[in-house]
Structure 1
Amino acid sequence: MQSTPTALALIGLLLAAWVAGAAWLMIAAGARARRADAARKAARRMVRMIDESPAIPLIVRVDGRIEASERLAGWLGLSKLPQYLGDLGGSDSARGLSAEQLAELSANVLRTQKTATPFRMELTPPGSQRSLAVRGVLADPQVSPGGAALLWVFDFSESQGELARLRAEASRAKGDFAALVGLIEAAPLPMWFRGPDARLKLVNTSYVRAVGAESAEAVVEAQIELVEAVDGLTAAQVASQAAAANTPVERVVTATIGGQRRSLRVSDLPLGAEGVAGYAVDIEEMEEQARTFRAFREAQRQMLDQLSVGVAQFGPDRRLLSANQPFRRIFAMRPGATDGIEFERLLRESREAGRTPEVRDFPAWRAERTEWFGIGEAVEEAWPLNDGTHLRIVAQPMPDGGLVLIAEDRTESLALSATRDTLLRTRTATFDSLFEALAVFAPDGHMQLWNRRFGGAWGLDQDDLEGHPTADELVAKIAPRLEQPKQAKAIGDVVRGATLDRKQTGGRVALADGRTLEIAGVPLPDGNGLLTVLDITDSQNAEAALLERAEALEAADEVKTRFLANMSYEFRVPLTSIGGFAELLEAGVAGELSAQGREYVAAILESVHRLTDQVENVLALSQSEAGLLPLAKERLDLLPFVTQVVREREAAIVEAGLSLDLRGGGTSKVEADPRQLSRALGHLLDNAIAATPEGGKILVDLSRKKDGVRIVVSDNGRGMTADELRRAREGLRIGADGKPERRQGLGIPLATQLVEAHGGTLEIVSRRGEGTFATIHLP
């Protein structure tokens, strides 16, 4: 059969449609297969997710049958999940649910099935630590038609433990909060809390008392601040700044509490978004103690500056904290050096200034001194310096790790010690070399020191003095050697008087060997007593001889007095008679005399006059030396008196061709005997006239001094040598052969005696070829 093109086309179309349908069926079948496979995988994944989920679904049908995972059996402590709800109790009381739990669960399920009311309950299988939460609802008809109940069982054992722990912590926190609130309320310092707006929300009782309010509510309501504004910032503004910076702020301010200004340390503590807490600590006592401590430290430094001992304190960091002026002076610290210098540097600078000993290895020496900071006891050293200074260094470690360094300049002390040792040795040597016997007794009566002569004076051996015997023991040893042993008690009384009574006493004792000792007790400044013993045997004998001689001299003096009285009469009477008869002859009573006879009579009268003066001088000198010169003192105007004496020698001055200058101003009066004073002044003028050659000059000067009157008689004559002046002052002396020895005239010795009899002095200065200068001093 011959096919037409149209048929072929239709066949092709048919085949193509068939192929397309087959292909579509194949594709649809593959898609359904893939969807089925995906559904199976999703179901398995869902089942697995349900098995791994923290909750297990339990379906309870109307007839009581149950459907759930075997995991639920493990949670309930059952080996296998039963088919009915009533079998969840199990046969063993230690497995499954208890009867009460099962009854409650059954009732809740029944109510849900009937009324669709959800329920919640908790189950704890007996004998198990597992806690189960059950949430029941009416099951969706797609899940289980017919009014079944769907129960979700959650294992919240861990949550339950955490919840119990949280509840315990909450209870404990509540108790702690209550205790904290009570503590804050009972706290002795003001405390407060501010909200985020920096307004007061809570204050304690101490805050209320501090601001003097009635209650905490009144403080919060009125926003009464404890602290005043400082530098324009109120307490609330400072708290806001602390909250903004989220940093605690602490400051010291003053506030009025109880009518008194107190220093407070105020702290603001940010609490995040909750607000700012604050408290104030009263530090007034601490500030007062700090002020007291500062004052004490300043007083201590001032006191240390007054000491002669240098004191410096170093801190635990080995830096200088303080040093007084003596320490700075001893170690020659620079004027600009401030506190804080290190100990090692101080030693280095002191070494450069020559204030440390010379050592070979200075770094090692300095390291050894640095170890003073770590030792547990004080160290003392002696530092001899190059300039002869001796320092005593004491290093005292402090409990805080610091060090106190004490420096004492002992140069003078050592010098005094050396001087004291020398004095002690000198005293011992002096004691031993003295002629007197000496012993020093202590207040307790023991003999401390004695010289070598002491034992010999009493006839004691050195063995008797060894062991420093007491005064009573010494007296007992001396008593047998005394002429009268009872006198030994007087020796003990002398020692006791010098040591205990502090009185100087003395006496004499006679020894059996005929010697006489004079003893004296002298109290010493150190409390001891000195007993001096002197052998006066020879002086006693000499005293007896002197007494005999004194008696003889008294007798001789009486003879001398009678001799002078007789000589005054015997000399004057013949001279008066000779002068009288010569004057009668000159007057012509015996007849007219020739020229040669008148010359003889004139010579006799002149000789009588001169001899009369010499006799008067000898008698006056003898009486003066014997202390028998009579003085009739009266008030004299000195210038007229001296003028009269000078005028009496005017003829002799003119005859010798001399000039005389008399000087004197003002009024000078003295108490003196006119006759004797004129004789003394006349002898000086006569000597000046005799010693001055023609054309010479004599000066007489009167002047008033603070201690009396001065009369000067000077000349420019030939003068005298020192030996001639000495002989002139000695005048008439008795030679070794008992005969008078004429040295010079009697004028100067007599003038000296007469001036001294008036209580004055006569000074004579003379040089050969220059003249003589005589000065009379009268009171």
Structure 2
Amino acid sequence: MSVKKMSLFKRADPSCDGARAPASRSLSGFPDGGAMAARLRRLARFGSAFLSGTALSGLATAALAQQSGNEAVRLFSSTEVIISSLVMGALGAALLSAMWLVRQRGNMEAETQEMRSALSDAQQRISKYEALIADKNRRIVIWEGGSSKPELLGQLPPETGAPQQDRDFLAFGRWLRGLSAGELEKSIELLRSEARSFDMVVETNRDEILEVQGRVSGGKAFVRFIALNNLRAELAELKIERERLAGSISLFHSLLDAIEQPVWRRDPQGKLTWVNHAYGDAVETPTTAQAIEEEREFLGTIAREKIKTVATSTSPFHDRISTVVHGNRTMFDVVDVVTPGGSAGMAIDVSEAEVVREELKRTLKSHAETLDHLATPVAIFDSERRLQFYNQAFVQLWGFTLPFLDSRPDNSELLDKLRSDGKLPEQLNWRSWKETALSVYRSPDTQTDLWHLPNGQTLRVIATAHPQGGATWVFENLTEQVDLETRYNTLVRVQGETIDHLSEGVAVFGPDGRIRLSNPAFRALWGITAEEAKPGTHIKAIETACTPSYDKPDGWRRFGQMLTNFDDERPSLQGTFELYSGLILDYAVTPLPNAQTMFTFVDMTASARAERALKEKNEALQKADEIKNDFVQHVSYELRSPLTNIIGFTDLLKTPGVGSLNERQSEYIDHISTSSSVLLTIVNDILDLATVDAGIMQLHYSEMSIDDLLDDVAMQIADRLHENGVTLAITAPAGLGGIVADEQRLKQILIKLLTNATNFAPEGSTITLKCWRLDHDVFFSVTDKGPGISEEMLKTVFDRFSSNAKGGKRSGAGLGLSIVESFVHLHNGEVTIDSRPGEGTIVTCRIPSAAPRAHSVAAE
């Protein structure tokens, strides 16, 4: 809105100063009348200027002129004029302002009405556009910019396969074809990042066609998905099909350019339109375009006219044509096809194939002449399984007539005729057997089979398939060979079974000193394996394997000298070997035909040492029995009774009822009690060992809980652990169950092991007692961190009275581990020790968890 700016001040016309003469009295009568008059003039000018441009400006001007012309005007009249002018000016200004405000308000109301009308129109247009956008045939995706969330408007028809949900719709790879989805995502990325518009056609997984447009407007990226109508969809499909065909044609052009055979295409007038690189090379042009431009022909005029005459749309031309390539006459296999849009052809160089074919014919003829002179029957069948070649031996073997063979019978037909003539072995399932025999045509491997013919002949049939099809059948007569092998194998098996079941050891050596055969008795007597005495092993190796078994160094050495000497006469030899194992062998060396030698060894141990062994055993038993009886009797009555009295009186002295003891006396009593207990333990151990050795100890089996057993053992060993300053850790899985054993002896085993461990474990260390179950056995393991046991001491650790006091807190009689081993063996178990110097000791006992059928008694 334009507003006119009015001038606030307006200069008065000078001509008006003297227009009117003052009619009032002069002002000179007042004091300082001149100054007053000047002020009034200035006020009048100000009022006139203030009211300039209004209807009252004339009045103010006239009053001012009148006052200027007549200085003698009366004061009251001038003042009234000025005041009246000011009031009238103010009223006029207010009136003008009101009029201006009313006019402005009218303009604003008009503008507001126009804006409301425009807003209503805009809202109607937006509703119209939204209705158009919400059409089911299109959907719009809008990106504001940056990584903001896109806005989606409208929907696509359900038959297109487009998801209705916004999140699923943007996952293009789920409902679009892979190629279309990849191109679309790449185009959207370029649209948002580089504002690059695009128009494309995509395919859904339901084979529907969509048109996609990408645009940028107002800083926003718009992507429109439009479901095409029938005509546009057909046009889009044709566009896609065109692109596919163009790609296929380009691919085939690339393929044809890569092959070595000349290929060409002609228009309906017979003019070349496309050739490959092989064609250009054949016509000696640097590029294919030059060959087309210069119309270089690969075939001669006569050949082209022949192709043009013979080739039709239903019958392509196919023949061999000779042409010149690089100055050489070459034979090509030419194929030319004709279509309404022109023709296309290809030429394949077959010159080398023709040479090879001729060479193959000559080779086959030479092979046929060679096979015809063989004594082995041979038959060759072609790819159609028809007889292609046979030799004279084949005719003689089966007795076929020449006309029948010259008729090229089928392989199946030939087998059927042999079966009907009774010349093939009888089969329970003839069809299956024949299919198996004819499967050679489908197998890449050679098939070999034995045919036992009804006339007594045995044939080895070798069938080999040809790479180009067909097969070769070779029939090898093995009748005599099979007969000889059968008789030889029978003889060898009889001899082998006879020698193998002899109780005497037998070994046969050849003239080269290598063993030919040996029986199990020979290997068992000398303690060697079958590998060490396998056929072909030299006698030196046998000597090395057998020498550690006896103390006569000249035994097998003399055998080797007998085998390898050059004497004409080979004498027999007999003697006796006494082995370290206690065996006594009588040997005999017997020469055999073909310069072979047989060694026989007879075990004479039983007969030679039976009497001596019985005497020694009887004397040993008697002596042992006397020692055991004397020991048990003396120890039982001479040691245990005094010890019991000593221990009893010692305990009695400790009681308050006997009387008080001083500190030294109490200390002496404690030493006596401790020493007596140790001595009683030793006596009990000796008695237990004596009982075991005498064979009179019996175990009293009962079922007990392993957890309770471990608790009792821990309670009994607690004082000893506290005395030695060590800790016991018991490791056992839950639910071990029970064990059937002698509870007293089993506790004795564990206490002996723990006592031994506490004696050698360093102060402050931990002794570990582990228990676990494996199959039908229960294992107990005691581990300490003591000084360990050397390898030499491990050999004698279970010997009685063998004590290793080095590193122990107190020395013993050395019977603890002997008793442990004896009691474990009585339970049919075993005990092992694993120890190394400086690494501690682990003693493991295996106890069967179930009692044997009969009570175990100490071994004799």
Shorter chain as denominator, the TM-score bin is 0.3 to 0.5
Which structure has the larger Rg over C-alpha atoms?
1
